[in-house]
């Protein structure tokens, strides 16, 4: 069974860069797709993007200019960076394992608050 | 860009059948996936590719997809089924519905 765990700062200042890492256990990261999905408090789910284990990426067009997803296969990790954050980026950030464009395993999520 | 629409809320009496819809233009031509999210928890996949259930999901949950509407059906609704439910499709990008809050009365 695949397990995912998000890690990173819980507080980021406006205009700075949000950085999170997802550590995968129970399976090799060298297969399938790996995604980041977020959920503002009390709101719905928003997909940020995915990375294939080969390094191919696909991002949400509305965030594409600010989002970067990278993968470190040797560490079984993948990461998210989101630049120039505003309070609208405050959300629970989930990492997820993707298969055929659906998500069968999710991390527990980490709350990131954007505030000065 | 493609959009999918869900009702904000659905109510069902205990033991009855709940149906949660996901509407989109010709959604029947796409694969629809459903997630259940309970308060304070991560979403859980309950239906994938329209009708398939992960092994840990009870058979009371089923899915269908035709025309412009996909439906998640929950039979013999239990108090533990109270949650937010999201549909999701792929259309050159991952698209989630806005979510439906299921209340079991």
Name which of A5, A45, A108 to mutate to probe chain B: the one with the most chain B Cβ atoms within 10 A of its Cβ.
A45
Neighbouring residues of B91: CB distance < 8 A, sequence distance ≥ 6: B1, B2, B30
pLDDT for A99 equals 85
Taking CB atoms and an 8 Å limit, are A106 and B43 in contact across chains? yes
Residue A1: pLDDT band (50, 70, 90) is confident
**Mean pLDDT across chain A, nearest whole number?**
95
pLDDT, one tens digit per residue, over B24-48 is 999 999 999 999 999 999 999 999 9
> Is the pLDDT assigned to residue A100 strictly greater than 90?
no
Name which of B53, B55, B94 to mutate to probe chain A: the one with the most chain A Cβ atoms within 10 A of its Cβ.
B94
Residue A86: pLDDT band (50, 70, 90) is very high
The dihedral built from the CA positions of residue B44, B36, A60 and B89, taken in this order, carries a sign that is: positive
pLDDT for B30 equals 97
Closest CA to A96 of B25, B44, B62: B44
Segments of chain B scoring below 70 in pLDDT: none
What average pLDDT does the segment A25-45 reach?
93
CA distance to partner chain B, nearest, from residue A72 (Å): 23
Neighbouring residues of B98: CB distance < 8 A, sequence distance ≥ 6: A44, B5, B6, B8, B86
């Amino acid at each position: 069974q695949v397990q995912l765990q998000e890690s990173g700062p819980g507080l980021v200042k406006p205009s700075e860069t949000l950085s999170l890492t997802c550590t995968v256990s129970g399976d090799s990261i060298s297969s399938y797709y790996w995604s980041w999905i977020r959920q503002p408090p009390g709101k719905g789910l928003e997909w940020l993007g995915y990375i294939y284990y080969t390094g191919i990426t696909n991002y949400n067009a509305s965030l594409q200019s600010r989002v970067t997803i990278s993968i470190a296969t040797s560490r079984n990790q993948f990461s998210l960076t989101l630049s120039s954050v505003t309070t609208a980026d405050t959300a629970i950030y989930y990492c997820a394992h993707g298969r055929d464009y659906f998500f069968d395993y999710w991390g527990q999520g980490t709350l990131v608050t954007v505030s000065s | 860009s493609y959009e999918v629409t869900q009702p904000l809320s659905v109510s069902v009496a205990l033991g009855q059948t709940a149906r949660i819809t996901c509407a989109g233009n010709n959604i029947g031509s796409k694969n629809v996936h459903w997630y259940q999210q309970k308060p304070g928890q991560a979403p859980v996949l309950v239906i994938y590719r329209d009708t398939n259930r992960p092994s840990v999901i009870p058979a009371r949950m089923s899915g269908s997809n035709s025309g412009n509407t996909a439906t998640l059906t929950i039979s013999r609704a239990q108090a533990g089924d109270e949650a937010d439910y999201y549909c999701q499709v792929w259309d050159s990008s991952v698209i989630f519905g806005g979510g439906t809050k299921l209340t079991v009365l």
